[in-house]
Amino acid sequence: MTDYHPGLDGVIATESSISDIDGEKGILSYRGYSIEELAEKSTFEETCLLLLTGDLPTKDQLVNFTQKINARRDLPSGLIDLLKTLPKNSNPMDVIQLAVSSLGSFYPVEFDAEKLKAKKYSNEYFVDVSAGIIGSIGSIVAAWNRVKNNKEYIKPDNNLSYAENFMHMLDDSIKVTPLINRIIDATLILHAEHTINASTFTAMVTSSTLASPTQVVASAIGSLSGPLHGGANQKVILMLEEMGSKENAPKWLDDRLSKKQVVWGMGHREYSTKDPRANILTGMVQELFKEQSGKVSEMFETAMALEAACEDKLAKKGVYANVDFYSGILYKEIGIPVDLFTALFAISRTSGWLAHWIEQVGNNKIFRPTQRYTGEKARKYNSKS
Residue 373 domain-assigned?
no
Considering the domain architecture, whether residues 164 and 268 belong to the same structural domain is answered as no
Q: Is the pLDDT of residue 1 over 60?
A: no
To the query of whether residue 194 is one of the catalytic residues in this protein, the response is no
Looking at the domain assignment, is residue 132 inside a domain? yes
Would you say residue 10 lies in a domain? no
* 214 and 251 belong to one structural domain: no
Q: Using one digit for the tens of pLDDT, what is the confidence trace for 172-223? A: 888 899 999 999 999 999 999 999 999 999 999 999 999 999 999 999 999 9
Is residue 90 a part of any domain in this protein? yes
Q: How do residues 118-158 score in pLDDT, each as one tens digit?
A: 899 999 999 999 999 999 999 999 999 999 999 999 999 99
pLDDT at 296: 63
Q: What is the CATH number of the domain that holds 315?
A: 1.10.230.10
DSSP string for residues in 236-295: HHHHHHHH-SGGGHHHHHHHHHHTT---TTB-BTTBSS--HHHHHHHHHHHHHHHHHHSS
Residue 3 lies in a domain: no
Question: Residue 77 belongs to a domain with what CATH number?
Answer: 1.10.580.10
Question: Total domain count for the chain?
Answer: 2
Let me know if residue 380 belongs to a domain.
no
183 and 274 share a domain?
no
Residue 63 has pLDDT above 60, yes or no: yes
Q: Domain check: are 174 and 188 in the same one?
A: yes
**Assigned domain for 379 exists:** no
- Whether 190 and 81 share a structural domain: yes
Q: 154 is in which domain, residue-wise?
A: 15-226+338-362
Q: Does 301 lie in the same domain as 198?
A: no
- Which of the following is catalytic: 185, 191, 324, 356? 324
**Is there a catalytic annotation at residue 268?**
yes
Please, how many CA atoms are within 13 Å of residue 212, restricted to the half-sphere of its CB? 14
Q: Catalytic pick from 268, 312, 339, 356?
A: 268
89 with 194, same domain? yes
